[in-house]
Amino acid sequence: MRPYSLLLIAGLLATACQKQEAVAPAEAPDPDWIKLEISTVFSGDEAYSMAGDLDKTLLVSTNQKVYSTADQGKTWQESYNFFGPVHLLPRHDTVFALRALPALLEGEPLAGYADMFTVDLGKTWTYTSVAYPRGQYRNLTQIIGRVEAAGITYQVRENFKPQPNSTSRLVLASDLLRVAGNESKAMRLPARHYLNGVYLDSNNRLYVGASGLRFDEATGEVITPKGKLPAVIYVSRKPLP
């Protein structure tokens, strides 16, 4: 066989392999939500809490670290390694990092103990004990998975499925609820996830932090993952009343 024939066959085989390994098409943009992803060293990560503004600088906490983006999620920079998830609490020009507490408030999970803070949206972090009198800000608390504005509450509802002959429960996809007075309504997201935190920016756009793990739309049960799962954040395209 001639050398050029071997090269041609090799080229065809390489092309065939490339076709077999083609990447799945990207998800179509959702009309109501912007989807952001943060790929980390973990095989499966989660977005826990948000602060800032997608159009300026956005901070997001994940399993271990806080990340920032100044280009609407195109790139992410490590802000600080907390070696565990923290919940970000904005207060004027300051963002405090709170830890989850083994306690409930009004039946909801609670974060507290503001050990560190930033005044420049994550460029630098300072211990509260260094900058403030002891106890001035450390006792801050925040209900996890709930935010309120103008009489409207947005909150995460966890769902579980009892297991036969067992005290354990199967974790299902969470719901995002909009509560106005006595009326509670589930809001649609582009996909079903386990949800963690919710946040409203100064323009009343809603941010939802979620795990990269996907759940079945009908049953709410987990879908076996394929490949790495990034932390996921959904941002409403329009201000929400």
Q: Give the C-alpha distances (Å, rounded to integers) separating 122 from 74, 83, 201.
A: 17, 16, 16
Mean pLDDT of 3-10: 37
- For the stretch 77-106, pLDDT in tens is 999 999 999 999 999 999 999 998 876 766
Q: At residue 20, does pLDDT exceed 70?
A: no
Length of the chain: 241
Q: How far apart are CA 237 and CA 31, in angstroms?
A: 8
Dist CA 203 CA 111 (whole Å): 25
Domain ranges of the chain: 33-239
In the block, residue with structure tokens 């004990």: 129
Q: What is the pLDDT of residues 143-181, one digit of tens each?
A: 999 999 999 999 999 999 998 888 889 999 999 999 999
pLDDT given for residue 26 in this prediction: 63
- Per-residue confidence (pLDDT) for residue 25, from 0 to 100: 52
Query: Mean pLDDT across the stretch 25-49?
Result: 90
Note the pTM of the prediction, 2 decimals. 0.86
* Sole residue written with tokens 């499925």: 161
| Tokens coding 46 | 């989660």
195-207 pLDDT, tens digit each: 999 999 999 999 9
Residue 138 has pLDDT above 50, yes or no: yes
Give the pairing type, strands 58-61 and 175-180.
Answer: unpaired
Tokens 């602060």 belong to 51
Query: How confident is the model at residue 235, as a pLDDT?
Result: 99
Q: Which residue has the tokens 């759940």?
A: 215
- Among the ranges given (23-27, 63-67, 188-192), the one the predictor scored with the smallest mean pLDDT: 23-27
Residue type, 176: L
> 134 pLDDT exceeds 80?
no
Does 14 score more than 50 pLDDT?
Answer: no
The residues, ordered by sequence, that sit 6+ positions from 153 with a Cβ below 8 Å of its Cβ are 146, 147, 177, 178, 179, 180
Task: Give, in order, the Cα–Cα distances in Å from 184 to each of 54, 90, 94, 154, 159.
Answer: 27, 26, 32, 10, 16
pLDDT score of 21 more than 80: no
Q: What is the pLDDT of residues 111-132, one digit of tens each?
A: 999 999 999 999 999 999 899 8
Three-state secondary structure of 68-129: EECCCCCCCEEEEECCCCCEEEEECCEEEEEEEEEEEECCEEEEEEEEEEECCCCCCCEEHH
44: β partners: 229
Radius of gyration in angstroms for the set of CA atoms belonging to the chain, rounded to a whole number: 22
- Around Cβ 24, how many Cβ atoms within 10 Å? 6
3-state secondary structure of 59: strand
